[in-house]
A and B are shown apart, each in its own frame.
Chain A
Amino acid sequence: MERQRKNLNLILWVGFLVVLIGALSYKPFFSQFPSTRDVPWVNMLMFVVGIGLMGVGLKRAFQKPDVYRGKVVGTVVAIAGVAVIGYFFLRAYYLERQLPISINAPRVGQKAPDFTLLDTDGNSITLSKLLASPTGAPASSKTNGVVLIFYRGHW
């Protein structure tokens, strides 16, 4: 008896790949643009498409198991896909938001606490001296302000 080769049901894997790309593309790419950063709608769209493709693959694996493969592996891949999406949202809407409330951070109208720290060349830089020194910019001879950017580091 000749065994017919079953269709690989690639759409399952394509769907999973779309979900994976959707989850991994946010930080290095879509978070760089204002329109796709605050609400990761492109990534959400990829999740919907990926889930849809996996749904089609699963449906035919179960409805026509003699033609399409993937009843078992498809279920596993689909669960993995849902887990990836779940982790994406857990990260974006919970883990990344676990920040200190910084209730005593200096407020608008208050004087910024002065400090002296080392720059990348090992020079001592004092905020008040920085404010008093010229910027060297052609359009302005004095410092009109300073932007302090605190960042997490460890890059």
Chain B
Amino acid sequence: MKPTSGARGERRFALLLFAPAFCALVLTTTVPLVYLVWTSLMRVDLSMPWLRGFAGVDNYVKMGVDPRFWNSLWLTLVYTTSTVALQVVVGLSLALLVLRIPRGQAALRIAAILPIVLAPVVVGLFWRTLVLSPDVGLVDVVTRALGFGSHNWLGDPQLALISVIAIHTWQWTPFAFLVLLASLSALPPDVFEAARIDRAGAWQRFRHITLPLIRPAIVIVVIMRTMIALSAFAAIFAATGGGPGTATEILNLYAYRTSFSELNLGYGASLAVVLLAITLGVSLVMFGVRRAR
């Protein structure tokens, strides 16, 4: 008797607590999403109002023959995989390194917090101007001092792509570093001791003991950073605007430019839908992988 009414009461109470957030989410995310999908099926081009009308899947078909779309898709892939890989590799190496230094860990943690809290748009802006400008930018000063000469960091297509990848990596590696450092510190010291007594080499210790133990943390870092890399926008927007040419125009920027520079809202919406589909697909796969382990 009592458990039943308790369960019903619990259900009611849960709904009471969850409903407000649920309604807010429906209103701020799902309703606009429906509108977005609907717009992606329409021909809405502000520069050609006379063409407005239902387009079915035309916008999606158009992507097939749109080289800029394929370019942006490719760049999204390059940008996402390289930034995530760099963050994990650099972050992990750094965490392993820091674990061994006797002092100064606190200073490093503070320095690591610095980029994370900054607004991506401001990061993009000051990299573009103060860090990467030829002649007076920090990187240029350093490369010249080291004898590598002056480079057109954001003006050359390849270098620009490398630069935006570097900006993202600079800002977010600390995240991977802090998470991995925390999980490394939480490992019981005796596993290492045992391995040391076995006289296993440093690499073997890492490969066979440390890595499996922190694998869950790495998987999570990969998942989270992938999601964020896929939605990256402001830093690239501020640093290169997608240029030079289309050298750094990832899908997000292409969708923005299509909607707001070219005013083709229908096509822009369909690009955003594709981006959403990719994000969902990738995350499903990743969560699947995570569960499988």
Same complex origin of A and B: no
A residues neighboring B (CB under 8 Å): none
Q: Which residues of B contact A (CB under 8 A)?
A: none
